[in-house]
Amino acid sequence: MKPENLLIELLVEELPPKALKKIGAAFVEAIFSGLAEQGLLSEKSQSTGYATPRRLGVLINGVLGKAPDKQMKLKIMPVSVALDAHGQATNALLKKLQSLGLGDVQVSELQREMDGKSETLFCDKVQPGVDLAFGLQISLNGMLGKLPIPKVMSYQLDKGCEMPGWSTVHFVRPAQSLIALHASNIVPVQLLGLDAGNQTMGHRFESLQQSITITSADEYEHLMLEQGRVVVGFERRRELIELQLTAKAQELGADYFPLKDNALLDEVCALVENPNVLTCGFEAEYLQVPQECLILTMKANQKYFPLLNKDGKLTNKFLVVSNISPLDPSAVIQGNERVVRPRLADAKFFFDQDKKKTLESRVAGLSKVVYHNLLGTQSERMERVCLLVSLLSDQLGADRVSAEQRSNALLAARLAKTDLLTDMVSEFPELQGIMGMYYALHEGIALDVAHAIEDHYKPRFAGDETARTLTGQLVALADKLETLVGLYGTGQGPSGDKDPFALRRHALGIVRMLVECDLPLELTPLLMQACKAFGKKLKVSQEELVVQIKAFIYDRMSSSLKEQGYSVREVDAVISQNPELLSQVPLRVKAVHEFGLLSEAPALAAANKRIGNILKKENIDTSIEGTLKINTSLLHESAEIDLYQTLVRIVPIAKAKWEEKQFGAALVALAALKGPTDAFFNKVMVNDPNEELRKNRLALLSTLHFEMNRVADLARLT
């Protein structure tokens, strides 16, 4: 039987929109891979997935009606166990052959081959290929356990079973029909109590007929569009929505642009089967409310697309993606406008009410809001953040932080959490920080302070920007340090894939601020100061907690650098040294990467590892500069003299480049050490019987090791 196209469609009640895209992709992958495992696909087989609010589907081309037979060589058992002293079959062999369905095979038909050190019996067997109905049934059964269903429903079958209403089925939503067509032939399979057929339903309101018969797998997409008025392809439907959004905006003029939001686009695509974009509007008076509030309520509550002007400011027009296309859309437009108006009115009411109280007047209320049962109230949290802002300012020094910036940062830290007590943030928690900024500006508070109030949450997510000013950076860093140390110190750290307080994000936020804002703050003093701010609230000793959090931060930084394309060895070469200034780490990793491209790099890395092993055996610590002093009068061999002279010449150059943060140039300068180092190990005995010579040569190697590892542990590049 030649390969034909296979169509599977599962018609269900409305699927959860936020999960539809993932469920649809998993549905396709599970069925395709299941058929491939059964040998029912050809080399050129490809799949096309379908996902709408009411159906999951897949079209796979090149599907065989029956999988080809397989020639298999089965391993039976060792000859010593299978045959007795006379070469006759033992009971063990007979039972084994029986269990494999080879009861009629004679001993003479078995092959003897060496398997490792023992001679073993093998048997050639032809395994018949499965037919499509059997293989597809296995694939469908396996698929059910692979779907990323957020919450499973339980419901009773009302048909197709012996006792309607008593047979329970578990699935994301109740299933209504199943199609399984191989070309134009129905494949007799079952799923969720449904027998496969060739009939489905179209659009709930606009289908030309109640039941649609799919005559052939190839005709599915065409018939569903022409008769059912359904665009079954998720990506195609999404593309149509984008095109319509752009076209509607252009109809209004050059100053209108639909808000770009891929998550909203995916969700709306999962809510409609035949999209129709309509233009709506609201009263301009609502534009007095901060646009973030209006945009959020339109997106989150109504799934509307706000329209912005060329400056990114909100207009009083918005777009609606409707699931119906009436000849006169005025009723649909008016209905959507009527629905959104109370939402906008609520936002305006909250904003107007909140402005009647100052942020400072809300500070006292923070003492009534519990932050964490082990860490106290938001008021106590605010005091710790203010203390950390002062400590960070001291650490950076007056040259970096002016008196005005310090004062602004302390005020921002004091007011940063007060918007949690406003009506607007109570209704829309996503706006915390943003509303604080607007209320601060309304009161006439300095722009630097207002921006810091908003920015102290940044970066909120991967790819988000950091705080725009030093004032905001101080508050944001203090806030994240307080969160990380407080929750880690009370045993609330991440466990496995669980991270309820998003501490991984906070750690990466600290890393990004130190690096991207080039803040020369050493990690250990930073964490020790944060620990002191908690007094006796922490359950873990300060020293132990600093070690734990440093390891956690280094781990997050390592992951970030590896995602940027650096190798594990390159990253570990730097991170393994526990660098205090995280702002330098990316530059050092980049330098290590460039150093690795030099022809001298492998030999120097190997020599560095060898030196490290020698010094380790002697219990010599090379992490501190100048641990051992070199006595030049004891340098006798020409090779050790040459190495010393090269060190004297190269070290000042490399050290100067290090201090200028030109880490790549510092490592390149070390390339000149390759020849003298190789010659030293070829011609000089380190463990000389003369104790003075031995110690002096160890001092020479200790100095060499320290200078080679100033940027990174080069031994980790081997």
> Residues 40, 148: one domain?
yes
CATH number at residue 14: 3.30.70
What does the block give as tokens for 216?
Answer: 């052939």
Is residue 576 a part of any domain in this protein?
A: no
Q: Looking at the structure, do residues 104 and 217 belong to the same domain, yes or no?
A: no
Question: Do the domain assignments include residue 517?
Answer: yes
Integer Rg of the chain from CA = 35
Helices (H), 490-599: 503-516, 523-532, 542-563, 568-575, 585-595
Identify which of 539-548, 550-559, 603-612 has the greatest average pLDDT. 550-559
The model's pTM is: 0.81
Q: What is the C-alpha to C-alpha distance for residues 246 and 312, in angstroms, rounded to an integer?
A: 15
Do residues 75 and 63 share a domain?
Answer: no
The angle that helices 378-396 and 403-415 make with each other, rounded to 10 degrees, is 160
Between 32-41, 104-113, 557-566, the lowest mean confidence (pLDDT) is in 104-113
Q: Which residues are within 8 A (CB) of 662 and not within 5 positions of it... i.e. 6 or more apart?
A: none
Pick the last residue of a domain from 334, 354, 374.
354
Task: Examine the pLDDT at 165 and tell me if it is beyond 60.
Answer: no
Percent of the chain with pLDDT over 90: 67
> Does 8 map to a domain?
yes
Q: What's the domain range around 638?
A: 586-717
Q: State residue 587's pLDDT score.
A: 94
Q: What is the DSSP string of 649-668?
A: HHHHHHHHHHHTT-HHHHHH
1 has pLDDT over 70:
no
* Whether residue 23 is found in the same domain as residue 74: no
Question: What pLDDT score does 402 carry?
Answer: 96
Q: Cα 389 to chain center, whole Å?
A: 31
Question: What residues contact residue 513 under an 8 Å CB cut-off, 6+ apart?
Answer: 459, 466, 467, 473, 476, 477, 480, 519
Q: Is 377 left (phi over 0), alpha (psi -120 to 50) or beta?
A: beta
Helix, strand or coil, per DSSP, at residue 598:
coil
Read off the pLDDT of residues 587-628 as tens digits, 9 standing for 90 and up.
Answer: 999 999 998 888 888 888 888 888 888 888 888 877 766 667
How many domains does the chain contain in total?
Answer: 5
User: H-helix or E-strand containing 113?
Assistant: strand 111-115
Contacts of 36 (CB under 8 A, 6+ apart): 45
Return the half-sphere exposure (C-beta side, CA atoms, 13 A cut-off) of residue 676.
21
Please give the residue that has the higher pLDDT: either 212 or 120: 212
- Give the pLDDT of residue 626: 60
Q: Which pLDDT score is estimated for 627?
A: 65
Residues forming beta bridges with residue 319, ordered by sequence position: 279, 305
- Answer whether residue 152 is part of any domain: yes
Q: pLDDT confidence of 576, banded at 50, 70, 90?
A: very high
d(CA 226, CA 203): 11
Q: Examine residue 344 and state whether it is found in any structural domain, yes or no.
A: yes
The encoded tokens of residue 617 equal: 């055996």
pLDDT tens, position by position, 621-663? 777 666 678 888 888 889 989 989 998 999 899 889 998 999 9
Whether 497 and 646 map to the same domain: the answer is no
- The CA distance from 279 to 318, in Å, is 6
Residue 130 scores a pLDDT above 80: yes
Q: Residue 101 carries which side chain, given as an amino acid letter?
A: G
Contacts of 681 (CB under 8 A, 6+ apart): 607, 610
CA 433, CA 468: separation in Å to the nearest integer?
14
The verdict on 109 and 158 lying in the same domain is: no
pLDDT at 103: 73
pLDDT above 70 covers a percentage of the chain that reads: 98
Which of 159-163, 433-437, 570-574 bottoms out in mean pLDDT, i.e. has the lowest? 159-163
CATH assignment at residue 390? 1.10.3210
Alpha-carbon distance of 641 to 635, in angstroms, equals: 6
Q: What is the pLDDT of residues 341-354, one digit of tens each?
A: 999 999 999 999 99
Tell me, yes or no, whether 163 and 201 share the same domain: yes
* Per-residue pLDDT tens digits for 493-537: 888 888 899 999 999 999 999 999 999 999 999 999 999 999 888
Same domain, yes or no: 461 and 523: yes
pLDDT score, position 211: 95
Q: Given this model, what pLDDT does residue 85 score?
A: 81
Rounded to the nearest angstrom, the gap between the alpha carbon of residue 587 and the centroid of all alpha carbons in its chain is 24
d(CA 101, CA 120): 19
- Say if 575 falls within a structural domain: no
- The answer to whether residues 414 and 541 belong to one domain is yes
The verdict on 277 and 215 lying in the same domain is: no
Query: What's the pLDDT score for residue 697?
Result: 87
pLDDT digits (tens, 9 = 90+) for 72-126: 777 888 888 888 887 888 888 888 888 777 777 777 778 888 887 788 888 877 7
Asked if residue 595 is part of any domain, the answer here is: yes
CATH number for position 684: 1.10.730.10
Q: 11: which strand partners?
A: 55, 177
Determine the pLDDT at residue 159: 57
Structural domain ending residue among the three candidates 186, 208, 226 = 226
Which pLDDT value is given to residue 308? 95
Which residue bears the tokens 């190839």?
A: 218
Residues 215 and 176 occupy one common structural domain:
yes
Burial of 132-158, coded b for 16+ CB within 10 Å and e otherwise, reads bbbbbbbbbeebeeebebeeeeebebe
Is the pLDDT score of 307 beyond 60?
Answer: yes
269-278 pLDDT tens trace: 999 999 999 9
pLDDT over 90 (residue 178): yes
Q: What is the DSSP string of 389-441?
A: HHHHHHHH-TTTS-HHHHHHHHHHHHHTTGGGGSHHHHH-GGGTTHHHHHHHH
pLDDT, the chain, mean: 91
Q: Domain end: 90, 107, 127, which one?
A: 127
Per-residue pLDDT tens for 227-286?
999 999 999 999 999 999 999 999 998 889 999 999 999 999 999 999 999 999 999 999
pLDDT digits (tens, 9 = 90+) for 423-452: 999 999 999 999 999 999 999 999 999 999
Domain co-membership, 259 together with 186: no
Inform me whether the pLDDT recorded for 163 exceeds 70. Answer: no
Q: For residue 17, give the H/E element and its range.
A: helix 17-37
pLDDT at position 505: 94
Residue 259 in domain: yes
Is residue 714's pLDDT more than 60?
yes
Q: Using CA atoms, how far apart are residues 118 and 115, in angstroms rounded to an integer?
A: 6
The Cα 283–Cα 188 span in angstroms is 58
